[in-house]
């Protein structure tokens, strides 16, 4: 994917990746061998007919290409941007064995962007069934479940606790990776199928549990929004943020435009981001755009970073300094942050995931401090506890996630769940994949009743 130069993109929140032109999309599409047993489709959590849509692009029939993609995925412009294709469809592409795989993600994005600019065709929906489905949460999982249930002819009401739809697409992923007009547009397409969206409604509070359970079917997609903290001294000083808070202040509340927008943020002159996932990269890159020198502290080696390679590259290009094999032990200062104390880590034997277990070094030089005035913790999120905890018969796992079978069924017969609330924190596309399965179960159940 082509990217805007780092020095230019640091000045704004505009999109970094620039997308394919029609000509280059067709050329790229022509590389696809159209395997009779396409492995790429196996690698896609929502089972898009990948060779089918790529063939249509090669034939310059972009309308058909869009139709094929949207048969399985109503959020293609979003997925084309944030799916980890290298670990999914492109990871299994046969061309990748000897050379470069087909740039399936870029092609998906191209098709979606082309359709958005050239007029969108609404998918067909089945005749109204008179059944009513409640969807809790309007993130990737909720929107996907809603679109599947709407297409099956059911009435759908989506409840969202925030003032804007989109979940993590809106509050979590920054605009330079996921432009907000695109999120609005694609969610608008789903709402356009006839969903009722109720913003500012907290299910379990605004909508009581018995009101929720009165729907013919319920899909819970409340996500993994509960930020974990490290539990080290100094964590509650002013200037220590969870990545969720830092990103929400900017992405949802536009704190980067303070005082034009009312929500403030501490910009920091030197910022430490703790963690190595995509969220950590997002936080680090936002902090760079707010003008800070940024350190990213990660306890393993750079090679072990769980973030997408592309995001790590972007962060490096944008001047984020990686401090690897280090783990924070204390935040210094009070009441404001003045620094962060870290312990260097030894890489020991490999764990089940094949990564080395980091253990704190001892002895001289193993403790060092960084002079920072903001600390952002991006060490993971747990399932949102609020609703799941208020439904007495709903079986939950050890971490508080809702237990589901492989078809998205919970311990309550007409209640289904998908996305991070069921699987634990994962990717947008995995949330969509599990929501799609749950929605298929809902549609099957409602058809039988």
Partner 1 sequence: MKRNQIADNIFEYWINAPHVAKNGRAGQFVVIRIDEHGERIPLTISAIRGDDVRIVFMAVGKTTHQLAALEEGESIQDIAGPLGTPSEVKNWGRCAVIGGGVGIACLPILARELREAGNKVTGIIGARNEGLLLLEDELRDACDELVVCTDDGSKGHHGFPADILKEMVAAEALDAVWIIGPAIMMKITSFATLDTDIRTFVSLNPIMVDGTGMCGSCRVTIGGETKFACVDGPEFDAHQVDWDELMNRQRTYTGQEKESLERYHEHTCRCGEKK
Residues that bind partner 1 (CB under 8 A): 161-163, 171, 198-202, 205-208, 225-227, 229, 231, 235-239, 241-242, 244-245, 248-249, 253-254, 258-264, 266, 334-335, 384-386
Taking the C-alpha atoms of residue 235 and residue 242, their distance in angstroms, rounded to an integer, is 10
Across the beta sheet with 415-417, the strand order is 196-198, 155-159, 132-136, 217-220, 415-417
Separation between Cα atoms, residue 437 and residue 418, nearest integer Å: 8
Closer of 34 and 233 to partner 1 (Cβ): 233
Task: Tell me whether residue 212 or residue 438 sits nearer to partner 1 (CB atom).
Answer: 212
Cβ closest to partner 1, residue 273 vs residue 439: 273
Angle of the 104-118 helix axis to the 62-72 helix axis, nearest 10: 110
Closest to partner 1 by CB, 102 or 422 = 422
**Which residue lies nearer to partner 1 by CB, 39 or 253?**
253
Task: Provide DSSP, 173-187.
Answer: S-TTTS-HHHHHHHH
User: What span, in angstroms and rounded, lies between the C-alpha atoms of 53 and 227?
Assistant: 38
How near is the Cβ of 88 to partner 1 at its closest, in Å?
Answer: 27
Report, in Å, the least distance between residue 208 CB and partner 1.
Answer: 5
- Closer CB to partner 1, residue 135 or residue 152? 135
CB of 159 to partner 1, least distance (A): 10
DSSP assignment of 100-116 equals PPP-HHHHHHHHHHHHH
The neighbour count for residue 269, using CB atoms within 10 Å, is: 12
User: Phi, psi (5° rounding) for residue 382?
Assistant: -105, 170
Count helices and strands (H / E) in the chain. Answer: 18, 16
CB of 171 to partner 1, least distance (A): 8
The tokens of 350 are what?
Answer: 């490999």
Taking the complex as a whole, the smallest distance from the CB of residue 377 to partner 1 amounts, in Å, to 9
* Between 69 and 135, CB nearer to partner 1: 135
Instruction: Enter the DSSP assignment of 154.
Output: -
**Which sign, positive or negative, has the C-alpha torsion 115, 119, 121, 122?**
positive
Query: Would you say 123 and 400 are in contact if contact means Cβ atoms under 8 Å apart?
Result: no
CB count within 10 Å of CB 119 equals 7
Smallest distance from partner 1 to CB 270, Å: 18
Strand partners, 368: 342
H/E element holding 379?
A: none
CB 178 within 8 A of CB 81: yes
Question: In which element (H, E) is residue 77 found?
Answer: helix 76-82
Distance CA 138, CA 140 (A): 7
- Residues 6+ positions from 27 with CB-CB distance below 8 Å: none
User: 227: which residues sit within 8 A by CB, 6+ positions away?
Assistant: 242, 243, 244, 245, 377, 381
Give whichever of 31 and 132 is closer to partner 1, judged by the CB atom: 132
Number of residues that this document lists for the chain: 449
Least Cβ distance, residue 249 to partner 1 (angstroms):
6
Q: Smallest distance, Å, CB 184 to partner 1?
A: 13
Q: C-beta of 127: minimal distance to partner 1 in Å? A: 31
CB of 36 to partner 1, least distance (A): 46
Decide whether 41 or 265 has the Cβ nearer to partner 1: 265
* Complex with partner 1: residue 1 or 258, whichever CB lies closer: 258
Q: Between residues 249 and 289, which has the closer beta carbon with respect to partner 1?
A: 249
Taking the complex as a whole, how short is the minimal distance between the CB of residue 135 and partner 1, in angstroms? 16
């Amino acid at each position: 994917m082509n990217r805007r130069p780092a020095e230019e993109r640091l000045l704004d929140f505009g999109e970094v990746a620039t997308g394919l032109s029609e000509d280059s999309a067709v050329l790229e599409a022509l590389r696809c061998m159209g395997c009779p047993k396409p492995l790429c489709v196996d690698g896609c959590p929502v089972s898009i007919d990948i060779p089918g849509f790529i063939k249509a692009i090669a034939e310059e029939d972009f309308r058909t290409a869009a139709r094929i993609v949207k048969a399985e995925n109503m959020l293609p412009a979003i997925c084309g941007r944030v799916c980890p294709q290298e670990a999914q469809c492109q990871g299994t592409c046969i061309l990748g064995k000897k050379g470069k795989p087909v740039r399936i993600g870029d092609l998906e994005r191209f098709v979606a962007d082309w359709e958005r600019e050239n007029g969108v065709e609404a998918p067909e929906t089945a005749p109204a069934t008179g059944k009513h489905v409640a969807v809790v949460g309007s993130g990737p999982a909720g929107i996907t479940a809603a679109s599947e249930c709407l297409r099956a002819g059911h009435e759908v009401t989506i409840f969202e606790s925030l003032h804007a739809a989109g979940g993590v697409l809106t509050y979590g992923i920054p605009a330079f990776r996921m432009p907000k007009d695109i999120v609005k547009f694609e969610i608008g397409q789903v709402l356009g199928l006839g969903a009722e969206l109720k913003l500012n409604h907290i299910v379990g509070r605004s909508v009581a549990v018995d009101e929720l359970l009165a729907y013919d079917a319920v899909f819970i997609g409340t996500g993994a929004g509960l930020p974990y903290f490290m539990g080290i001294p100094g964590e509650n000083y002013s200037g220590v943020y969870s990545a969720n808070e830092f990103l929400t202040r900017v992405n949802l509340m536009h704190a980067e435009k303070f005082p034009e927008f009312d929500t403030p943020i501490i910009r920091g002159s030197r910022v430490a981001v703790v963690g190595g996932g995509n969220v950590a990269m997002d936080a680090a890159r936002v902090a760079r755009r707010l003008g800070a020198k940024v350190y990213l502290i990660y306890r393993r080696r750079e090679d072990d970073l769980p973030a997408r390679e592309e995001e790590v590259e972007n962060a490096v290009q944008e001047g984020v300094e990686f401090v690897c094999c280090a783990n924070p032990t204390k935040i210094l200062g009070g009441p404001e942050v003045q620094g962060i104390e870290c312990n260097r880590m030894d890489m020991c034997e490999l764990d089940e995931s094949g990564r080395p277990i980091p253990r704190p070094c001892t002895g001289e030089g193993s403790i060092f401090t960084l002079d920072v005035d903001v600390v952002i913790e991006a060490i993971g999120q747990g399932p949102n506890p609020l609703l799941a905890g208020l439904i007495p018969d709903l079986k939950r796992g050890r971490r508080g996630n809702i237990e589901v079978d492989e078809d998205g069924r919970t311990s309550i017969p007409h209640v289904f769940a998908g996305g991070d609330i069921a699987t634990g924190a994962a990717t947008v596309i995995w949330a969509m994949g599990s929501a799609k399965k749950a929605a298929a179960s809902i549609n099957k159940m409602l058809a039988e009743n």
